[in-house]
Amino acid sequence: MKIAVAGGTGTVGRLVVERVRAAGHEPVVLSRAAGVDLRDRAATDRALVGVDALIDAASVGTTRAATSTEFFHAASGTLLAAARAAGVAHAVLLSIVGIDRNPNGYYAGKVVQEELFERGTVPWTILRATQFHEFAGQVASQARLGPLQLAPRARVQPVAAAEVAARLVALAVSGPQGRAADFAGPREERLERMIRAWVRRDGSRPPVIPVAIPGAQMRGMRAGLNLPAAGATLAGPTFDDWLAAQG
């Protein structure tokens, strides 16, 4: 199969591309780094010629609802229109567990993105996954204050990005399923503990200060609104096992 991967140079997207190739399929990378802006209809049309299935793992670096909504409305809207014109048989969307319970900040845009897939004419599958194990390092890098390491409080049930990538590819080749079961790691964690473990993995001991970040999105995460519901598929290593394997 020829499988296009939107956001194919991102945290999970690059792993999806590797998994597509390892499974014997042909990946097509759609990202600005690969020369394809998802909001450029002509460039997206060219990239999707001959594509059998599409995996949308694109993202945008923002915590603002307006910015997230604008990006996903434009990027996914263009992507789905191009997929319809190219005759793509199946579009798989990577989404986030609990966004309907916590439709704030970045998650507001993901809600809009899901609606675009559900209303579209391209046969679809939506996979909601929890935060990745890699999320701890991403948050840690953004939450340094001089010598201090801030650690936002939140309840999460993280999963390895590699496990999510494998699941996305399996779904893409299996045909449209509509809403797939939530996908999560094996156990609930505290984000602040994950960040402490992340920053101390090399033996350093910076002061780590748990903080309650203001805003509706983080308030919802502290309340556990982004934890998987009963019936979720659980996979992969725990955060501690994954972190130990990072070297």
- At 201, is the pLDDT very low, low, confident or very high (cuts 50, 70, 90)? confident
Does 247 have pLDDT greater than 80? no
Summarize pLDDT for 137-190 with one digit per residue, the tens: 999 988 888 888 999 999 999 999 999 999 999 999 999 999 999 999 999 999
Name the pTM for this structure.
0.95
Distance CA 180, CA 168 (A): 10
The domain ranges of the chain are 2-245
How much is the pLDDT for 66? 97
Summarize pLDDT for 46-80 with one digit per residue, the tens: 999 999 999 999 999 999 999 999 999 999 999 99
CATH class of 2-245: alpha beta
Residue range 103-125: average pLDDT? 97
Does 6 have pLDDT greater than 90? yes
How much is the pLDDT for 227? 98
How much is the pLDDT for 203? 77
